[in-house]
C-alpha cells in the first residue's frame, strides 16, 4: 500500500500549501547562498505543516541534491563532524549543487553534555552548501546559541480551508465521493497538521466509495476502542496474524502505539524475562523507526510493526488472567494537555486584543502568565476579567 502522504507529496514549492512567504524566504536563501546574512535557516513549527516537504520540494524544483540527516542520529560532537561535516564539505556525487537538511534538531540526544549543537554551529560556519534545519520548538535552551547563526522561519498551522481544499483534490484523484461536512470534520480534527489529515483520510476511505459525516463520527468514537482491543490482543493472546490485521484498523501512528505498549507493559507482565524481552523488542522497533526518519526507507515499517506488536505479544509465557485497565500514555497526555492550554491561551489573547489594544503575541507573552496565576488563585476574579475582555456583539 502506498501512503498518500508520499504519493501526493509536493513536487515544487508552490505545491506546499499555506506557507507561501516561508517558501519564498527559503528560495532566496538557497539561490543566493553563500551571499546571505546568516549561513543557515532554522525552520520551526508543529508536525505536518510543510517544513520537511518544503525543503524537498525546493530541492526538486532547483535541481539540487538533497542530503537529509536526522538529528537523532547525530548523538555527539564526533558524529556531527563525521556525518554532517562530511556532507557539508564533499562535492555531490552527481555534479549537482547540494542542499543539506538537518531534521528535528530539537531531538538530538545528549547535545547539552557532548557538544553536538556546538559542532553543528562549526559545520554551519564552514559549509560549502546551504543548510536548512528543522525543529518543532526552536526556543529550547540548548538551541540558544544555534539561533544566533540561523535565520528563523516559523511554519504556522495550516488553515482548515486549505486542508479541506487539498483533501478534495486527493478525493477527486482517488475517485472517492465525499460529503463536504466530512472533510471539514477531518480538517478540524487535524489541528493544522496536513499530514495527519491526509493519513486520516486514507484510513477512512479504505473500502469506501463515498465518505460521509456519519462515517467520521463513528470513526472518532471507535479510535480509542480499537486501541484498547489491540492492546488486549497483544497482552492476552498469541495470535500474531490477528494482531497485525487488527493494527491495520487502528489509525494511531506506530510511534504512538509503542508508547501505549510501553505505558501498560509492566501492568500485564510480571516476570523479569518477559519484561526484558518485551522492552528489547520495543527498542528494536524504535531503532527501525529511527532508520525510517533518517533515510525515508518506508519498507522498514513492517519490521517496526512486527517487532513491537508481535514481539511484545510473544514475550509472555502465559497471559495475565487478571483484568487490566489500560492507561493512556503519559507522554501523549502531557502533549494534549499542553496543546489544549496553548489553544485556550490563543483564544483569550485574541479576545483581549480588542479591549487591551495590543497584539496577540504580546498578550500571549505578557498577559497570559498573570491571568493563569489569577485563575488558579481567584477563579471568580478571572471570570470577571474574561467578561470584560470579551467583545460585545
Q: Are residues 335 and 323 in the same domain?
A: no
* Predicted pLDDT at 175: 93
**Residue 187 and residue 80 share a domain:** no
79 and 65, same structural domain?
yes
**Helices (H), ranges, 160-239:** 160-174, 180-190, 194-205, 213-236
pLDDT average per 10 residues of sequence, the chain (393 residues): 82 90 94 90 90 92 86 68 78 76 73 65 89 88 88 93 94 93 87 86 82 74 64 86 76 80 90 92 90 76 89 90 79 58 66 71 74 80 74 45
- The reply to whether 218 falls in a domain is no
Residue 42 DSSP code? E
Grid coordinates standing for 202? 486514507
Are 313 and 337 found together in one domain?
A: no
Q: Contact at 8 Å (CB) between 186 and 161?
A: no
pLDDT value, residue 278: 93
Here the CATH number for the domain that contains residue 80 is: 3.40.50.300
Cα separation, 321 vs 325, in Å, equals 13
- Do 147 and 162 belong together in one domain? no
| Residue 362 belongs to a domain | yes
Do 26 and 145 belong to one domain?
A: yes
Does residue 9 share a domain with residue 34? yes
Count of structural domains within the chain: 4
How is residue 74 written as a grid cell? 547525530
Rg (CA), the chain: 23
What confidence score (pLDDT) does residue 228 get? 79
C-alpha angle with apex 263: 262 to 268, nearest 5 degrees?
Answer: 85
Q: Which domain holds residue 351?
A: 330-389
Q: Whole-model pTM? A: 0.58
Is residue 290 assigned to a domain?
yes
Q: Are residues 322 and 336 in the same domain?
A: no
Specify whether 228 is located in the same domain as 310.
yes
Amino acid 94: pLDDT: 65
Looking at residue 252, its pLDDT comes to 66
How many CB atoms within 10 Å of residue 10?
19
Is 97 inside a domain boundary?
yes
> Residue 115's CB: how many other CB atoms inside 10 A?
17
Amino acid at each position: 500500500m502506498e501512503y498518500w502522504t508520499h504519493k501526493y507529496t509536493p513536487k515544487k514549492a508552490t505545491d506546499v500549501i499555506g506557507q507561501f512567504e516561508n517558501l519564498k524566504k527559503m528560495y532566496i536563501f538557497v539561490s543566493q547562498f553563500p551571499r546571505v546574512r546568516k549561513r543557515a535557516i532554522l525552520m520551526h513549527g508543529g508536525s505536518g505543516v510543510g517544513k520537511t516537504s518544503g525543503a524537498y520540494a525546493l530541492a526538486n524544483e532547483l535541481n539540487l541534491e538533497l542530503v537529509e540527516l536526522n538529528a537523532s542520529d547525530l548523538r555527539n560532537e564526533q558524529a556531527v563532524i563525521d556525518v554532517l561535516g562530511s556532507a557539508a564539505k564533499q562535492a555531490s556525487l552527481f555534479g549537482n549543487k547540494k542542499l543539506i537538511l538537518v531534521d528535528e534538531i530539537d531531538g538530538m540526544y545528549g547535545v547539552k553534555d557532548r557538544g553536538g549543537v556546538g559542532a553543528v554551529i562549526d559545520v554551519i560556519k564552514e559549509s560549502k552548501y546551504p543548510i536548512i534545519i528543522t525543529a518543532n520548538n526552536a526556543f529550547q535552551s540548548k538551541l540558544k546559541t544555534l539561533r544566533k547563526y540561523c535565520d528563523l522561519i516559523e511554519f504556522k498551522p495550516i488553515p482548515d480551508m486549505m486542508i479541506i481544499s487539498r483533501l478534495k483534490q486527493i478525493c477527486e484523484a482517488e475517485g472517492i465521493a465525499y460529503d463536504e461536512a466530512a472533510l471539514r470534520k477531518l480538517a478540524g480534527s487535524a489541528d493544522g497538521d496536513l499530514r495527519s489529515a491526509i493519513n486520516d483520510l486514507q484510513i477512512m476511505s479504505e473500502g469506501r466509495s463515498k465518505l460521509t459525516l456519519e462515517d467520521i463520527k463513528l470513526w472518532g468514537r471507535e479510535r480509542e476502542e480499537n486501541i484498547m482491543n489491540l492492546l488486549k490482543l497483544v497482552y492476552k493472546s498469541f495470535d500474531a496474524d490477528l494482531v497485525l490485521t487488527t493494527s491495520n484498523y487502528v489509525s494511531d501512528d506506530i510511534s504512538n502505539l509503542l508508547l501505549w505498549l510501553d505505558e501498560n507493559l509492566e501492568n500485564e507482565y510480571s516476570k523479569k524475562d518477559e519484561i526484558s524481552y518485551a522492552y528489547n523488542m520495543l527498542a528494536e522497533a524504535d531503532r527501525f523507526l529511527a532508520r525510517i526518519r533518517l533515510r525515508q526507507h518506508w519498507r522498514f515499517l513492517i519490521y517496526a510493526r512486527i517487532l513491537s506488536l508481535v514481539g511484545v505479544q510473544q514475550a509472555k509465557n502465559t497471559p495475565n488472567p487478571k483484568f487490566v485497565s489500560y492507561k493512556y500514555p503519559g507522554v501523549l497526555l502531557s502533549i494534549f494537555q499542553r496543546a489544549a492550554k496553548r489553544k485556550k491561551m490563543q483564544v483569550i489573547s485574541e479576545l483581549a486584543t480588542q479591549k487591551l489594544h495590543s497584539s496577540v503575541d504580546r498578550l500571549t507573552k505578557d498577559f497570559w502568565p498573570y491571568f493563569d496565576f489569577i485563575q488558579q488563585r481567584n477563579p471568580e476574579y478571572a471570570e470577571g476579567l474574561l467578561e470584560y475582555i470579551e467583545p460585545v456583539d
